[in-house]
Amino acid sequence: MSDEKNSRRKFLKILDEINDFIGELPVYLYFIDADYQLLWMSKFLSKKFRFSSTAPLGTCYRQFWNRESPCENCPGADEVVWNKFVHSIISLKNVTDSSELYLDLITIPVFENLQELSGFLKIGFDVTAVEKDKRTLREQKNLYSTIIESSADAIFLLDNDEKILSWNEGARNIFGYEPAEIIGKSNIVLIPKALIEIGELYYIQKELNTRGYIRQFETERINKEHQIIHVDLTRTLIYDEKGEKIGSSVIIKDITTRKKLELELRRTIRELSKLNEFNEMLYGNFLPEELYQVLLIAITAGEGLRFNRAFLFLIDSDNFVLKGHLAVGPADEKHAHLIWSSLQDHYRALKEVFEQYHIYPEGIDRRL
């Protein structure tokens, strides 16, 4: 027993010499026995926790960390491996002000005669600021991940070779691809062939290289079912810590419904314009028969009210009955397609349509 005490005294003397050398450097240095009782601590610890050099000695070292002394079923036993160095980051409560403290802690087992455990030397460094920064970054990462995953817009990453690296829930809903189906594939699978042929991808890459981004670019994409989707595209370059380009982020908003409404609104405006034109023609130099034809054309033309056929009935004032006077419309489905296609290639005023598809009422059917 005396040999053990002598060995421990020698070890504690060595620690005192180390203590004199490091002074009050912010090192959490202390020594505990095999029963986790505090036997020695550095000057820094004494000052940090406002202890005299011997006040806490012989008590549970965990009184540093806001624990009652002694602890039942001391949890310290779970922190060490009896014959190995242990390196860990631990979170503690400061006993003096209950503040949160993170230590980068090294636990070194100390033996008597290389066999009997004498205690543990603990060396710790305050890494609270670093760990709190890490926690903040983790929280921000989780927040951003939640925002991205819950977004109704398609959000994904591309590498420098246009390969898809990530795929959020919004992208899955808009395009129909599961992440496993699309990640690793080229972004080109989402672009209509016609747009690739006219160089849209080249234009986007040119804008990225010049400005670093392209925003609110209205274009088209195709989904898994090969259906055209009208989209609003934003794409931004991403750089690493060295300033090297590593890829780009893509945000795509599905504006198909809005584009359909815009198209319908334009059609409605054009329909109303036809009625306005007809009203002006009523006061022009047109014969009644020509006005009848203009009226029916306004109803049936592709730029008009878009009915397939129109019939004009006039009242026989002598007999007070309706009589069919004039009818216009395509002869068959193929004929209708040809007429509508020709009328859709550019906007035509009602008078222009009338001159192109003039009707000659000769009392017989006539294919125009």
Query: For 107-128, how does the pLDDT look when each residue is reduced to its tens digit (9 = 90+)?
Result: 888 887 767 778 888 888 989 8
pLDDT at 248: 96
- Smallest Cα–Cα separation from 18: which of 36, 38, 37, 45? 45
Q: Which amino acid is at 189?
A: V
**171, β-bridge pairs:** none
pLDDT at 364: 44
**Mind listing the domains of the chain with CATH numbers?**
2-130 (3.30.450.20), 151-254 (3.30.450.20), 269-356 (no CATH)
pLDDT at 10: 83
Q: State the greatest distance between any 2 C-alpha atoms of the chain, in Å, as a whole number.
A: 142
Task: List alpha helices for the chain, DSSP H.
Answer: 2-22, 43-48, 128-150, 169-175, 179-182, 193-197, 200-211, 256-282, 288-300, 333-344, 350-356
pLDDT at 363: 43
Q: Which amino acid is at 153?
A: D
How does residue 367 score in pLDDT terms, banded at 50, 70 and 90? very low
Please say if the pLDDT value at position 172 is more than 60.
yes
Averaged pLDDT score across all residues of the chain: 79
Q: Angle between the 256-282 and 288-300 helix axes, to the nearest 10 degrees?
A: 180
- Smallest Cα–Cα separation from 233: which of 248, 253, 213, 247? 253
pLDDT at 251: 96
| Token output for 107 | 């636990």
**Pairwise CA distance, residues 167 & 155, whole Å:** 7
More reliable by pLDDT, 362 or 104: 104
pLDDT at 244: 93
pLDDT at 32: 85
Interval 208-237 mean pLDDT: 95
SS3 for 239? Answer: strand
pLDDT at 246: 94
**313, β-bridge pairs:** 324
